[in-house]
Every structure is written in structure tokens, then in C-alpha cells.
């Protein structure tokens, strides 16, 4: 009989799918009963015949600490006096079929280091945060009209002690944060840190959704890492995977002997492409589990956002499946209506609890209104990865420049839809692994041209509307593709070309930070204006980026061939003196030095739809940023 009305209410909300803090109800928590300190355990297992807590403390004997079933919907509880932080445990579950199985706690906050699989008692409230100033500033910040450049990294292969032996989160804080801050990134994005059995899944196939992977330390160690990032002015985004989970025996699969967290229908449950199981998005308790999990990472770890992985795999019943492996929805469509409803509910819940965070969808289709509010029919994220831009641009950049003029649309098409969503431009880990080659090695041409192409690509990326994301190694031109069991090829920085690319990335980031035109109107059409999108013969494009202040306007000219064009006419929106404030072809970046050192005075003759034009040198495989630094003599006279 439950006598605590608060507990009764939480249990009711859990079964209704509306308990946003279910990790405070379920799992292992320090408690006091009849004056004795110990641990209260609670688990949801409605199909179990009996559940016990087992561990070294009772020699893994399920008869010692049986749990009591406190309601008809299958919540089991037990209080064990004398246990404390660090206790290793599992749940022993007797199924309807007479089988005994050992399961890790779905709500455990910590886990044993693989290959061991037990859960570890770890209180949530024994870390003292020092990031109050950051959290205060975050509430007042408008991310849409602010610079955002994200450094995506996989901690274990950024640097490691040796393959599959990693540093602690605290060590990574000392190494990663100064590096990222020096380069000028605003955010770090970490590949999933939920506990997972297999290193090479990179965390995308998890068993412990509430458990920080013990590969890098304890929950408090991770809190320290986030805390230090915030103290250094760097936000932290975590890759999060609510779409599917792995089938390992100690995890969520058939948790109480029956399909519980996954769909009972194999056609909906099986992710055949990955060998994983789909969450049952229609089940209320699963909704409480996942929504609470999102809020848990944002609240308990002060994270600044979640990048939600594989959203398309949630939205479509036929994702990654052949004919006959999936079933139509009740209206004859291929959309997973339950997942759509869940995603909307999740985002509404997250933003009600933490209104100042980022919820970023990795959604690879043309599903409409991904980053629009739910009240106008959107999915409710506030950002979407622009996978179309990424695919088009990498395809374009991999071509020999001789052939680029035949595929000019690949660099211009993204502007037809650039303002339909709040986009992030992602060059992520997925693009530099599994034989896809590193970003530098995708580039065609000889040694010099590879680096010139990379500089041009990065400059165009930073000039294009949308926030920015680059996977580790791209910033210094790693030649090999990502080797997930080794650390980055840091020795390349002993070579001038790679050291120059690192400096180039830093200077490009500084330009980006300093120029509101590159981010202030990122998601509005008035933030961008084509000057010339049609010169496919020479593979040259030019455009303007605008801020709220007219004088902050930038003119950007991109040349995707190795030809130099002298006395090239570029239309400019206003008359005056234009200065080249940044060139990807500068000699100190390893370029050929075909820059425009002298001021460029506009000529009052129409060109490319503009009233004025300038003549300039267009560098080979280069991008030039121009800014009007003073008004022309004519405009000054008019005043």
C-alpha cells in the first residue's frame, strides 16, 4: 500500500507517459528507513513473476533481497540497508516462462567498465557546480542570431593512452578545452556517452541510457568536464539516440521476458540495417523513460543541447528495410505516427523544462517543418542538420575542377531551401569513415590543390547561411580517414601545410565571430543575396551576407577552379571603397598569394544586377571576403 501521495502521483504520471523526471522515481537512490541509511531500488517490470536485487553484497543470491510489486502496472521496489555509493548490482528477473535473467538497471546512473555489465549506485547530488555565470548568460542569449561553430569529437580517438585505453574526463578537460578555445569554437559536440558494450559502436548502440560511460570516468568526472567547458565559455552538446537500442542480454531487450521497451511486433521493432531494436513510442512508460532521459542529460549535466540521432529512422516505418519487412500505418502510409507524436511531445516537454537549450535533429529526408514549433505543425526541434547541403557540397568538391562547371547546381541549390529550417551545416564523423576518406583526402588535385580546395570549401561553408559543425581532424587536414581505435595524427602539425590549415581554421573562426553578417540573419532570407549564381563556365559565384546593420554587409567571391582571373568584374550593392578582409589564398595560409592588397573603389556602372561594380583578382581555388570600409567620393559628395 502506497501512502506517500507524491509518490502515488509520480507513479500515475509515469504510467500515463507524463513523468518528466522518472529517473527520480526509478533506479537506485540513497534513502533512510527507520533510521537506517541504505539504497532504495525501483524498477518497472510488469511481466515479471519475481524480481530481486543481486550483487556482491548478497553473493548474487536472488533469494536474499526480493523486491515487492507495489502496483498492478509492474513497479517493483526494495530498500536494502547498509548499501552505499559504489555498490555493484543487477536485477534478477524470473519471467513468465520460468527463466531467470540478470539485467542492468535501465535507470542506473553509472555502470561497470566493459566488459563487465553490472550497474553501480551513484548519487546525483554530490557535485558542486561552478558555472552559474554561464547558465545565466545562456538564458539571455538568442542562439539564432549568434555565432555557433561546433567542434564534434569522439573523446576516445581524439587522444588516448593506447588503443581502447582512455584518459579520464578530467584529463580531457585539461587537453581539449584550451585547444577548442584557442581555435574559437563556440561549442563542443560529443559522440554518445551513454553506456554501451562495444567500443566500435561509438555509443550509438546503448544499454545504459542514464549511465555515463565508465570508459572515461564517473558521472562527477563528466560533470567536471562540462563545468570547465562552461567556465571557458564553451557550450556542450551531446549526441543522443532515442530511436533504437542494442540487443545485448543485460540491456533493455525483452527486459522482463517480454517485449517491453521495444515494439512487440517484429516488423516495427527490428532495425534490420543496424541489428538493433526500435523503442515502442506508443507505450506510455517508454515515453516517460525517453523524455525523462533527455531532460536528465540537460538538467543533471547542465548540457546545452542534444543532437538527436537518426530521426528519419524514427519517422519512417520502412527506414532501412526491404519490401515485406515493414507494414503500412493505419492510413496506408509509411510514417510512424506514434514516433511523430512522441517527438513532438518530447520537444514540448524539453523546452518547457529547459527553454534555453538546443534540440538538433539529424534528419536526412525532406520531412517538413522539422525545426518549427509544434503548434504550427512542426516537429518542435529548434535546429536541423542540413544533410542536403553536406551531400551536394562534398560531391561537388570531390570532382576534378574541370568537371565542376557541369554540376554548378550542387553549390547553388541549397539556397533554394536554406531558410525553410534553422539549419546547421554538418561535416561530421559519418563523412570521414568507412572508406569515405578524410575531408582533405576527398579533395582532388596535387598536394597544393588539395589544401587549396580544403581552404576554399571551409571558407564557403562559413560564408553560407547556417551554423557550422566540423568533425575533429578536419581543422588541421588529417590525411587518413577517422581511425576510431587510434588517436588523431597530431604529428602532422610538424608539417607546414597542416600547421597552416590549423591556423587558417583559427583565423576563419575569428572572421566568423567578428562579422555579424555571417550569423545574425542566418535563418532569414534578408541575410543573403546572390550577386552572381550563374557563372558555371568559370565555376565562380558571388553573393552578399547581411546583418541588421547595413554597413556590416560582406561580399563573398568563390572560385572553384585552379585558374586565376585578373580584372574580374563583381557587382556590389553599394558604392564606396571595398577592402579584402580575408582571402583563403593568402601566402601565410599556404596559398599562392593572389590577393587584393589595395582598396577596391567601386565604379558607378551596373553589373550583375547591382548599381556598382569593382574589378578584382579572383584567386585560384580561393574565396575572398570583401567589406565596404568607406563611402565613395560620389556618395560622400551627395551627403
Structural domain boundaries in the chain: 5-120, 525-638
**Pairwise CA distance, residues 590 & 593, whole Å:** 8
Distance CA 527, CA 520 (A): 8
Burial (CB < 10 A; 0-12, 13-18, 19+), residue 64, is middle
Mean pLDDT over 436-457 rounds to 98
pLDDT recorded at residue 2: 46
Burial degree of 444 (CB within 10 A; 0-12, 13-18, 19+): middle
Q: What pLDDT is attached to residue 637?
A: 46
> Could you tell me the three cell numbers for 511?
572572421
Q: What is the mean pLDDT of residues 369-377?
A: 98
What is the DSSP pairing of strand 149-153 with strand 208-212? unpaired
Q: Report pLDDT digits (tens) over 557-577.
A: 999 999 999 999 999 999 999
Tell me the pLDDT tens digit for each residue of 124-157.
999 999 999 999 999 999 999 999 999 999 999 9
The pLDDT mean for the chain works out to 96
Residue 231 φ then ψ, to 5°:
-65, -25
Beta strands (DSSP E) in 216-265 are 235-240, 244-245
Instruction: Specify whether domain 525-638 bears CATH 2.60.40.1180.
Output: yes
Question: Which residue is catalytic, options 285, 300, 309, 522?
Answer: 309
Q: How many CB atoms lie within 10 A of CB 129?
A: 14
Beta strands 383-385 and 423-427 are parallel
Q: What is the pTM of this model?
A: 0.96
DSSP code at position 371: T
555502470: which residue's cell?
111
**CA angle, residues 387, 139, 375, in degrees to nearest 5:** 55
Angle CA 157–497–561, to nearest 5: 110
Q: At what angle do helices 496-514 and 169-183 cross, to 10 degrees?
A: 70
- Dist. CA 161–CA 179, nearest whole Å: 18
Give the residue ranges of DSSP H helices in 184-322: 219-231, 266-269, 284-300, 311-315
Grid look-up 584550451 returns: 178
Class of domain 5-120: mainly beta
Q: Rounded to 10 degrees, what is the CA torsion of 347, 348, 354, 359?
A: 20
C-alpha cell at 451: 589544401
Q: Report CA-CA distances (Å) from 395 to 119, 200, 561, 621.
A: 45, 27, 15, 16
User: Residue 238 class from Cβ within 10 Å (0-12 exposed, 13-18 middle, 19+ buried)?
Assistant: buried
Collapse the DSSP code of 33 into the 3-class scheme (helix H, G, I; strand E, B; otherwise coil) and give the result: strand
Q: Confirm if 404 and 395 have CB atoms less than 8 A apart.
A: no
| Residue-wise pLDDT tens digits, 335-348 | 999 999 999 999 99
What is the β-pairing status of strands 244-245 and 208-212? Answer: unpaired
The Cα–Cα gap between 108 and 296 comes to: 12
What average pLDDT does the segment 199-216 reach? 96
Residue 218 has pLDDT above 50, yes or no: yes
Question: Cβ distance 624 to 568 under 8 Å?
Answer: no
- Residue 529: is its pLDDT beyond 80? yes
Give the angle subtended at the CA of 534 by the CAs of 529 and 540, to the nearest 5°.
85
Assigned C-alpha cell, 255: 527486459
Integer Cα distance of 533 and 415 in angstroms = 10
Helix (H, G, I), strand (E, B) or coil at 4: coil
Take residue 489 and report the three cell numbers written for it.
595524427
Q: Cell numbers for 448, please give them.
A: 597544393
- Checking if the pLDDT of 217 tops 90, the result is yes
Q: Which three cell numbers stand for residue 272?
A: 534490420
By percentage, how much of the chain surpasses pLDDT 70? 98
The pLDDT score that the predictor gives to residue 633 is 52
What letter does residue 335 receive in the DSSP assignment?
Answer: B
638 — pLDDT class (breaks 50, 70, 90): very low
Residues 109-134: what's their mean pLDDT? 97
Task: State how far the alpha carbon of 335 is from the alpha carbons of 24, 182, 318, 340, in Å.
Answer: 33, 45, 8, 8
φ/ψ of 590, rounded to 5, equals 95, 10
Asked whether the beta carbons of 455 and 591 are under 8 A apart, the reply is yes
Q: Express each pLDDT in 531-542 by its tens digit.
A: 999 999 999 999
- DSSP-assigned beta bridge partners for residue 245: 277
Q: Name the band, by pLDDT with cuts 50, 70 and 90, for residue 636.
A: very low
> Which H or E element spans position 101?
strand 100-103
Please give the Cα distance from 22 to 448 (Å, whole number). 56
Q: How many CB atoms lie within 10 A of CB 368?
A: 11
Catalytic: 392? no
Q: Which three cell numbers stand for residue 291?
A: 523524455
Q: Say yes or no: do domains 5-120 and 525-638 share a fold.
A: yes
Cα dist. 68→49, 77, 83, 404 in Å?
11, 5, 18, 69
Catalytic, 199? Answer: no
Distance (Å, rounded) from C-alpha 485 to C-alpha 158?
A: 10
Q: What is the DSSP string of 459-521?
A: HHHHHSSSEEEEETTGGGT-SSPP-TTS---GGGGGSHHHHHHHHHHHHHHHHHHH-GGGTTT
C-alpha cell recorded at residue 321: 528495410
Q: Residues 10, 300, 362, 431: which is the catalytic one?
A: 362
- Is 427:470 a contact under the CB 8 Å cutoff? yes
Is residue 225 a contact partner of residue 234, using CB atoms and an 8 Å limit? no
Asked if the model's pLDDT at residue 274 lies above 80, the reply is yes
Amino acid at each position: 500500500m502506497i501512502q506517500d501521495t507524491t509518490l502515488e502521483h509520480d507513479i500515475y504520471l509515469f504510467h500515463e507517459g507524463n513523468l518528466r523526471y522518472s529517473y527520480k522515481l526509478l533506479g537506485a537512490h540513497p534513502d533512510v528507513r527507520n533510521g537506517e541509511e541504505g539504497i532504495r531500488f525501483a524498477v518497472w517490470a510488469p511481466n515479471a513473476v519475481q524480481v530481486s536485487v543481486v550483487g556482491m553484497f548478497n553473493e548474487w543470491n536472488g533469494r536474499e533481497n526480493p523486491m515487492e510489486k507495489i502496483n498492478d502496472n509492474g513497479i517493483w521496489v526494495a530498500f536494502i540497508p547498509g548499501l552505499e555509493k559504489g555498490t555493484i548490482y543487477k536485477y534478477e528477473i524470473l519471467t513468465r516462462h520460468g527463466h531467470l535473467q540478470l539485467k542492468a538497471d535501465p535507470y542506473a546512473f553509472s555502470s561497470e567498465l566493459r566488459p563487465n555489465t553490472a550497474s553501480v549506485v551513484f548519487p546525483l547530488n554530490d557535485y558542486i557546480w561552478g558555472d552559474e555565470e554561464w547558465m545565466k548568460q545562456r538564458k539571455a542569449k538568442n542562439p539564432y542570431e549568434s555565432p555557433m561553430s561546433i567542434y564534434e569529437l569522439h573523446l576516445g580517438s581524439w587522444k588516448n593512452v593506447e588503443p581502447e585505453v582512455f584518459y579520464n574526463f578530467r584529463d580531457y578537460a585539461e587537453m581539449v578545452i584550451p585547444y577548442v578555445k584557442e581555435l574559437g569554437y563556440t561549442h563542443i559536440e560529443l559522440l554518445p556517452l551513454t553506456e554501451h558494450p562495444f567500443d566500435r559502436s561509438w555509443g550509438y548502440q546503448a544499454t545504459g541510457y542514464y549511465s555515463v560511460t565508465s570508459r572515461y570516468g564517473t558521472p562527477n568526472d563528466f560533470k567536471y568536464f562540462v563545468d570547465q567547458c562552461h567556465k571557458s565559455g564553451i557550450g556542450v552538446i551531446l549526441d543522443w539516440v532515442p530511436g533504437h537500442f542494442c540487443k545485448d542480454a543485460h540491456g533493455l531487450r525483452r527486459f522482463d521476458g517480454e517485449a517491453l521497451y521495444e515494439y512487440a511486433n517484429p516488423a516495427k521493432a527490428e532495425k534490420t540495417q543496424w541489428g538493433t531494436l526500435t523503442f515502442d513510442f506508443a507505450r506510455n512508460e517508454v515515453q516517460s523513460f525517453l523524455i525523462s532521459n533527455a531532460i536528465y542529460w540537460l538538467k543533471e549535466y547542465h548540457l546545452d543541447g542534444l543532437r538527436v540521432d537518426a530521426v528519419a529512422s524514427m519517422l519512417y516505418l520502412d527506414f532501412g528495410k526491404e519490401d515485406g519487412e515493414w507494414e503500412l500505418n493505419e492510413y496506408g502510409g509509411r510514417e510512424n505516427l506514434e514516433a511523430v507524436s512522441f517527438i513532438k511531445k518530447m520537444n514540448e516537454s524539453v523546452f518547457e523544462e529547459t527553454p534555453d537549450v538546443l534540440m538538433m535533429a539529424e534528419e536526412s529526408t525532406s520531412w517538413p517543418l522539422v525545426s518549427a514549433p509544434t503548434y504550427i505543425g512542426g516537429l518542435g526541434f529548434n535546429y536541423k542538420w542540413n544533410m542536403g547541403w553536406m551531400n551536394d557540397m562534398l560531391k561537388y568538391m570531390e570532382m576534378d575542377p574541370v568537371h565542376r562547371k557541369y554540376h554548378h547546381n550542387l553549390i547553388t541549390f541549397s539556397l533554394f531551401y536554406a531558410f525553410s529550417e534553422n539549419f546547421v551545416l554538418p561535416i561530421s564523423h559519418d563523412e570521414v569513415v568507412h572508406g569515405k576518406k578524410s575531408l582533405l583526402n576527398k579533395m582532388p588535385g596535387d598536394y597544393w590543390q588539395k589544401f587549396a580546395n580544403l581552404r576554399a570549401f571551409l571558407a564557403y561553408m562559413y560564408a553560407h547561411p547556417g551554423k557550422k559543425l566540423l568533425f575533429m581532424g578536419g581543422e588541421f587536414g588529417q590525411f587518413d580517414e577517422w581511425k576510431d581505435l587510434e588517436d588523431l595524427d597530431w604529428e602532422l602539425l610538424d608539417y607546414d601545410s597542416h600547421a597552416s590549415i590549423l591556423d587558417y581554421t583559427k583565423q576563419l573562426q575569428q572572421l566568423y565571430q567578428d562579422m555579424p553578417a555571417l550569423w545574425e540573419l542566418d535563418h532569414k532570407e534578408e541575410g543573403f543575396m546572390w550577386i552572381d549564381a550563374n557563372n558555371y563556365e568559370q565555376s565562380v559565384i558571388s553573393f552578399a551576407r547581411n546583418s541588421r546593420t547595413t554597413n556590416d554587409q560582406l561580399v563573398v567571391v568563390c572560385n572553384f577552379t585552379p585558374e586565376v582571373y585578373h580584372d574580374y568584374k563583381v557587382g556590389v550593392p553599394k558604392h564606396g571603397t571595398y577592402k579584402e578582409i580575408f582571402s583563403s589564398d593568402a601566402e601565410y595560409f599556404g596559398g599562392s598569394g593572389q590577393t587584393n592588397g589595395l582598396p577596391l573603389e567601386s565604379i558607378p556602372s551596373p553589373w550583375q544586377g547591382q548599381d556598382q561594380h569593382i574589378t578584382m583578382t579572383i584567386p585560384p581555388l580561393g574565396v575572398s571576403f570583401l567589406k565596404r570600409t568607406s563611402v565613395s567620393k560620389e556618395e560622400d559628395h551627395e551627403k
